[in-house]
Every structure is written in C-alpha cells, then in structure tokens.
C-alpha cells in the first residue's frame, strides 16, 4: 500500500512538473517522456562497463579505422551544420547577448531554433559511439569514469533544456561548439597515422582544459 501511495505521489509530482514543458516539442522523437532515453543510457552504461568488455575479452580487437574515419568526418560536418543553424536561427539574425526570455511562439525562426536545439540533443546519442568503438577495439583503459559520466549525463541535461526552454538561453552553448569539432578533427588526424603527441606539447596542453570545459556542460 505504501509503495502504491508513493507511486501515485510520484506520478502527481511528475504531472505537475511536466505541465510547464514546451508543447511544441511534445511529439518530437524522444521528447514525450524521459523513459526512452533512460533505457538507452542504461543500456549504454551496461554495455560499455560490463557486457561489452566481457564479450570482447577472448576476441581480437576490431579494426575500425575506416568506420571511425567516416564517423569523425560526419560529426565534423554535423557540428558545422549545427553551428550554422544556431547562427541563422537567431544569433546572427537578431539575438543580443542580454538574458532574454525564450521565444515559445510558432514563428519559423523560433521553431528553427527549437529544432536545432533538438538536433544538438540528438547528437549526444550519436556520440555514444565513441565509447562503443573503445569497447570493440579493446581500448578499455580509455573507458574512464569521467568519459562514461560525460556521455551519460549530456543527453539528460539537453533533454531538460529542449523539453522546457529550447531557445536562446539554451543555445548559447553553440559558442563553444568548436570543442566537439576540435575533438573530431584531432581523432581524425590520429586515424590518418599521425605520430603520438608527446606530453607537454600544444595539443595535449589544450585538450585538458577543453575536456574540463566539456565536462562542465559544453558540447
């Protein structure tokens, strides 16, 4: 009985909370409820921390250079496209740097901005492939807590943003979109056979603060 009461209260609290969501995104993929993304992220965590490494334990690592090159190239183009959309849906066509309220109208520009925010949210699911590639290549030392935490928490933070405020206040993060772009270009360079970068050189010195910025909520 106590569990039933607790469940009923949780449902009531959820209904009260969700009523303030943006109705424009209700029917968009993954936006009607947090349950689908919870299942996806849960499956991701289980695969990269338990099932995947055990599956690969007695297998040879996959050679994924070709697939990863295509993936990185696609993500570079996708990052550039999202930056362009953020600019054209507001930041280069009228937004100021003041703290303005979100435009919840159904004007073409407001909907374009909301959809671009959703695209950025969806890109976080595509980036889960980073860790899956580590697993399949048996690069288990690179599957760190911070890596898994970052990839697991980003879809959640952006789900809330797109669900309640898909507009200017959320889209300011486009200004540091280059973090994603830098990482994908850097990984592409490595795949092309560049020599290992020694500690203390510019790329490694730059990667540390870049990763810290990303872990704090950047792309």
* Segment 69-90, tens digit of pLDDT: 999 889 889 988 988 998 888 7
Confidence check: pLDDT of 168 > 70: no
> Catalytic positions, please?
150
SS3 9: helix
Report the pLDDT value the prediction gives residue 79, as an integer from 0 to 100.
Answer: 87
Q: Does residue 13 belong to any structural domain of this protein?
A: no
d(CA 132, CA 89): 33
Q: In this prediction, what percent of the chain has a pLDDT beyond 70?
A: 73
165 or 38, greater pLDDT: 38
Q: Does residue 183 belong to any structural domain of this protein?
A: yes
Alpha helices by DSSP H, listed for the chain, are 2-18, 35-46, 52-56, 65-86, 108-126, 129-136, 145-164, 168-171, 178-191, 202-215
Confidence check: pLDDT of 217 > 50: no
Q: Does residue 8 belong to any structural domain of this protein?
A: no
Q: Does residue 211 belong to any structural domain of this protein?
A: yes
Average pLDDT, the chain: 81
Q: Give DSSP secondary structure letters for 74-124.
A: HHHHHHHHHHHHHIIIIITTT--SS-PPP--S--HHHHHHHHHHHHHHHHH
Lowest-pLDDT range, 63-72, 153-162, 170-179? 170-179
d(CA 7, CA 13): 10
Going by the DSSP 8-state scheme, the letter that residue 58 receives in this structure is T
Confidence check: pLDDT of 179 > 90: no
Q: Does residue 6 belong to any structural domain of this protein?
A: no
The distance from CA 11 to its chain's CA centroid, rounded to whole angstroms, is 28
163-193 as b/e: b if 16+ CB within 10 A: bbbbbbebbebbeebbbbbbbbbbbbebbee
Give the pLDDT mean for 89-117: 83
Report the pLDDT value the prediction gives residue 102, as an integer from 0 to 100.
Answer: 83
Report the pLDDT value the prediction gives residue 34, as an integer from 0 to 100.
Answer: 92
Q: In this prediction, what percent of the chain has a pLDDT beyond 90?
A: 49
Name the pLDDT band for 46 (thresholds 50, 70, 90): very high
Name the pLDDT band for 195 (thresholds 50, 70, 90): very low
d(CA 205, CA 202): 5
Q: Domain span at residue 130?
A: 30-98+105-215
Report the pLDDT value the prediction gives residue 196, as an integer from 0 to 100.
Answer: 47
Q: Does residue 185 belong to any structural domain of this protein?
A: yes
Domain count for the chain, please give it. 1
């Amino acid at each position: 009985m106590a569990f039933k009461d607790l469940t009923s209260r949780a449902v009531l609290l959820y209904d009260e909370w969700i009523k303030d969501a943006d109705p424009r995104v209700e029917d968009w993929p993954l936006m009607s409820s947090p349950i689908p993304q919870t299942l996806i992220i849960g499956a991701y965590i289980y695969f990269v921390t338990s099932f995947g490494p055990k599956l690969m334990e007695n297998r040879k690592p996959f050679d994924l250079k070709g697939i990863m090159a295509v993936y990185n190239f696609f993500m570079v183009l996708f990052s550039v496209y999202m930056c362009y959309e953020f600019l054209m849906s507001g930041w280069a066509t009228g937004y100021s740097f003041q703290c303005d309220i979100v435009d919840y109208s159904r004007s073409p520009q407001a909907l374009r901005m909301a959809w671009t925010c959703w695209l950025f949210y969806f890109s976080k699911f595509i980036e889960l492939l980073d860790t899956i590639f580590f697993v399949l290549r048996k690069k288990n030392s690179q599957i760190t807590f911070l890596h898994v935490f970052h990839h697991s928490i980003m879809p959640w933070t952006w789900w809330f943003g797109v669900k309640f405020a898909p507009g200017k206040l959320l889209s300011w993060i486009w200004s540091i979109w280059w973090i994603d772009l830098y990482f994908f270009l850097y990984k592409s360079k490595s795949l092309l056979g560049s020599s290992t970068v020694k500690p203390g050189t510019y790329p490694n010195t730059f990667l540390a603060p870049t990763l810290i910025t990303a872990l704090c909520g950047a792309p």
